[in-house]
Amino acid sequence: MRLSKFFLPLLKETPKEAEIVSHRLMLRAGMVRQQSAGIYSWLPLGKIVLDKVCAIIHEEQKRAGANEILMPTIQPADLWRESGRYDDYGKEMLRIQDRHERDMLFGPTNEEMVTEIFRSYVRSYKDLPLNLYHIQWKFRDEVRPRFGVMRSREFLMKDAYSFDMNQEGARAAYHRMFVSYLRTFERMGLKAIPMRADTGPIGGDLSHEFIILADTGESQVFCDKAYLEMQAPDEGIDYWDEAAMAKIVKDFTTPYAATDEMHDESAYEAIGEKDRLSARGIEVGHIFYFGTKYSDPMNAKVQGPDGQEHTVHMGSYGIGPTRLVAAIIEAFHDEDGIKWPEPVAPFHVGLINMKPGDGACDEICEKLYKAIGASGRDVLYDDTDNRAGAKFATFDLIGVPWQVIAGPRSAAEGKVEIKNRADGSRDTVSVEEAINRFGAA
């Protein structure tokens, strides 16, 4: 992509309404545009990052055996009357009437709808286990939408739903999603800590929130520093090895970790003082086992090997991709802007032509632009006439991990400068060396 053709509406002033750094940086870097309280458009830079986040989520969901579907945003109220949640959900639900005066709603979550799909098709235990998921917009009329896309009213959610014959099967399904979450967040460069959680309006008796540590987080959390050293399993893991899954979950739930709602001060104090960590956290994922809470009132049953009908046991598993984009910025930024981890960076390389019109600069940049593009890496080429200082500031702000800079003096010698955004280190190398680094497949 050439910057001259890229819609990147940067803001010069720091927007006053933005209270936290990720919100400020997302507005300044032209990633999102607020359309109404808690409702945002995603502009090109933001959309590219959001798509990268979603791509990682899709890969890891599929790896763990989930089937992708796509359910609508608008749901009939009758489904929610069946489960009994229509009245319980309260003002957070956006209720709508269609032209026939039928009660509809903009889905805040999809337990009812997916249960309706399941009961319409699945009859036998032989079709289980089953996990159906989608990434779809949700609407929750939050009392206080704030912090930009971190707590918005319209937001994207990856929601998966598992169906099993019994509690034991459902527990195995829960473990698979738990492990896939560890991998998903780690691939984005995040350290997400699973914490026992309250189930709220989703219900059930087993639930974990995945929390990343950040000073601006909305929750107060307490945990053992052991989590900072723990690593998610690698991609060779066998999701169908139930004992292996159970062991990973056990390892990741044994050290103490809790949000303030579930905090147990005496258990926390039992950790040695130097290993205690009290911090703020952002909830990026939340998983639930709720048994027959929906399948029972909605009559979702399968025939078991015993010939009897069994009400299925369910769980649901959420990740907030739009919130994650903000959470990643909270974790990776400095005073100059964003510092994207490579797997979610909108571009891998920012190619900066310091003097368009200078023969050597133009030639080197065009050559590098082609070579990097051909290698499959995303490159943003600054071919504009902006001032040098403005160019550097833009690339620091939008957080591209590598900057390759061609200035007239070094270009005349066939050299470019490479800057690493994460640590600020700089290196002057030959054009060939730069092509080797970023242009090789």
d(CA 146, CA 159): 22
Measured from the CB atom, the residue of 94 and 393 that comes closer to ligand P5A is 94
Which of 50, 128, 202, 211 lies at the binding interface for ligand P5A (CB under 6 A)? Answer: 202
Both tokens of residue 144? 């206080």
134 near ligand P5A, rule: CB under 6 A: no
155 near ligand P5A, rule: CB under 6 A: yes
Angle (nearest 5°) at CA 330 between 325 and 332: 90
Angle (nearest 5°) at CA 326 between 320 and 330: 125
Name the one residue in this structure whose structure tokens are 């974990």. 208
* Site size with ligand P5A, rule: CB under 6 A: 21
C-alpha distance from residue 95 to each of 83, 107, 115, 135, 201 (Å):
17, 9, 21, 21, 17
* Torsion over CA: 156, 212, 67, 164 (sign): negative
24 near ligand P5A, rule: CB under 6 A: no
Which of 285, 346, 399, 439 lies at the binding interface for ligand P5A (CB under 6 A)? Answer: 285
The least CB distance from residue 318 to ligand P5A, in Å, is: 3
Give the residues across from 279 on adjacent strands.
221
Full DSSP string of 288-346: EEEETTTTTTTT-EEE-TTS-EEEPEEEEEEE-HHHHHHHHHHHSEETTEE---GGG-S
157 near ligand P5A, rule: CB under 6 A: yes
The least CB distance from residue 63 to ligand P5A, in Å, is: 19
Which of 27, 212, 221, 284 lies at the binding interface for ligand P5A (CB under 6 A)? Answer: 284
142 near ligand P5A, rule: CB under 6 A: yes
x-or-dash string of contact with ligand P5A, 351-390, rule CB under 6 A: ----------------------------------------
Contact 26, 338 (CB under 8 A): no
Contacts of 90 (CB under 8 A, 6+ apart): none
322 near ligand P5A, rule: CB under 6 A: yes
Measured from the CB atom, the residue of 180 and 322 that comes closer to ligand P5A is 322
Measured from the CB atom, the residue of 61 and 403 that comes closer to ligand P5A is 61
Give the residues across from 317 on adjacent strands.
160, 287
The least CB distance from residue 178 to ligand P5A, in Å, is: 13
Measured from the CB atom, the residue of 249 and 326 that comes closer to ligand P5A is 326
Name the one residue in this structure whose structure tokens are 């280190």. 425
Which of 140, 176, 293, 391 lies at the binding interface for ligand P5A (CB under 6 A)? Answer: 140
x-or-dash string of contact with ligand P5A, 158-187, rule CB under 6 A: -x----------------------------
Measured from the CB atom, the residue of 26 and 361 that comes closer to ligand P5A is 26
Strands (E), 5-127: 32-36, 39-42, 67-68, 74-76, 94-97, 103-106
Q: Over the range 331-345, which residues count as b (16 or more CB within 10 Å of their CB) and which as e?
A: bbbeeebbbbbeebb
x-or-dash string of contact with ligand P5A, 100-119, rule CB under 6 A: ---------x----------
Stretch that binds ligand P5A, among 87-95, 185-193, 278-286, 377-385 (CB under 6 A): 278-286
34 near ligand P5A, rule: CB under 6 A: no
Sites of contact with ligand P5A (CB under 6 A): 109, 140, 142, 151-152, 155, 157, 159, 202, 283-286, 288, 316-320, 322-323
